[in-house]
Amino acid sequence: MGYSRFYLVLLLSICVGNSLASPIEDQERDRITQLPGQPKNVGFAQYSGYVTVNEESGRSLFYWLTEAPVSRGPESRPLVLWLNGGPGCSSIAYGASEEMGPFHIRPDGKSLYLNPYAWNNLANILFLESPAGVGFSYSNKTTELYTFGDKRTAEDAYTFLVNWFERFPQYKHREFYIAGESYAGHYVPQLAQIVYRKNKGIENPVINFKGVMVGNAVTDDYHDYVGTFEYWWTHGLVSDSTYRMLRIACDFGSSQHPSVQCMQALKVAVVEQGNIDPYSIYTQPCKSTASLRRGLRAYDPCTERYSDLYFNRPEVQKALHANVTGISYPWKTCSDIVGNYWTDSPLSMLPIYRELINASLQIWLYSGDTDAVVPVTATRYSIDALKLPTIINWYPWYDNGKVGGWSQVYKGLTFVTVRGAGHEVPLHRPRQAFILFRSFLENKSMPSTS
């Protein structure tokens, strides 16, 4: 008498353990059935969990995939990886929870509501907490958290992608884009460079890489600071004398370590600016503290407080398949350890942009124009340093008859500003950010008629 099919499968699974697990089974383990406080019948699939990027130290990165709604055909939509910056800040806290994610958190820290301008209406969005030590991502070797920098962050993110595509084979060969903001102005081009170089010479690469989009991006130290100081002065945030002192004392083109005179000038500038939110100079701050570190924090009205409450709830972590190893510290919007002990940070991303432009990849940079931390003038100086020919000169773009911002199209790069938006453009101007994202995916210039 032969064994039943069920008994054979059971016997084999005992003998070979997890080796029989298929990508589909791994996916199903990561499927989110319902988040606490989530609206019902949302109409799209979600997955979250861990992908190991280093077996030896147990480095594992946490992701959250929000697919496009079933009604919009997720199987035909591109995949977009979203990275927040810091360094050390969580893409779950910012991108997913207060910017373009499908859910925003209510002030009670317990319930969620739908974001009508969620980007997963246009694409499948993959949020990644990177590097290890940020958010739910971790390393079993805690000393590693003091040694992260740009290079390892990019390498781990690439390893994550390769392993993630093995778990989600239906996304292999799907059109793929990398997007982010702030210090992701380093993460995005560096990861893009690795993907592009690994793909070279492969006839049918697994990662069908198409392009990048970065907002209020830390790009080139010299031009970023020249543009930042100019923004402070032209927007009435600092005195003439302080502006002159900043220009003389702060030379970030040759060193990442500011002089004593530069630090003194920066401290005076902070005092002169007063109790404003430098990430959004015309809106009320939630806190009175301001940071000198470049791109350290995303805009902080009070929304990150709601994230702190929500993602530290045990039932939320269980629903997300997060904190499965019992991390010894609470989930935070930004890791002070990772950020404060950052080891390597190149002075400029411009050489990488030149390489990506020569590769004919799609490159969009955008700026909210009320951000005083990585302001629009900083990005304009950095772009100007690339010396690209202009295809479409500076023009206003429109949303419902109103100017949404301005744009200029260069050979190999599109630049867009969003009027009235701070550091986190989708937080301040969600509708305009949605239009921007749609134009990017379609690779069409911004709507130019009122």
Give catalytic residue positions. Answer: 182, 371, 423
Q: Which of 154, 153, 132 is nearest to 143 (CA)?
A: 132
- Can you tell me the distance from the alpha carbon of 296 to that of 373, in angstroms, rounded to the nearest whole number? 9
Query: Phi and psi of 137, rounded to 5°?
Result: -70, 145
Token pair 């971790």 in the structure block, residue: 138
Edge-to-edge strands, sheet with 46-54:
46-54, 59-66, 124-129, 79-83, 175-181, 208-215, 362-368, 413-418, 402-410, 390-399
- Can you tell me the distance from the alpha carbon of 107 to that of 304, in angstroms, rounded to the nearest whole number? 10
> Residue 90 corresponds to which tokens in the numbers above?
């969580």
Non-local CB neighbours of 117 within 8 Å, separated by 6+ positions: 100, 426, 430, 431, 433, 434
CA angle 275, 276, 280 (to 5 degrees): 165
Please give the torsion angle defined by the CA atoms of residues 342, 348, 354 and 360, in that order, rounded to the nearest 10 degrees: 40
- Can you tell me the distance from the alpha carbon of 408 to that of 396, in angstroms, rounded to the nearest whole number? 9
For residue 169, give the amino acid letter.
Answer: P
- Can you tell me the distance from the alpha carbon of 130 to that of 164, in angstroms, rounded to the nearest whole number? 14
- How far, in Å, are 22, 127, 314 from residue 169 at the CA level? 11, 18, 31
Q: Which of 196, 195, 78, 169 is nearest to 126 (CA)?
A: 78
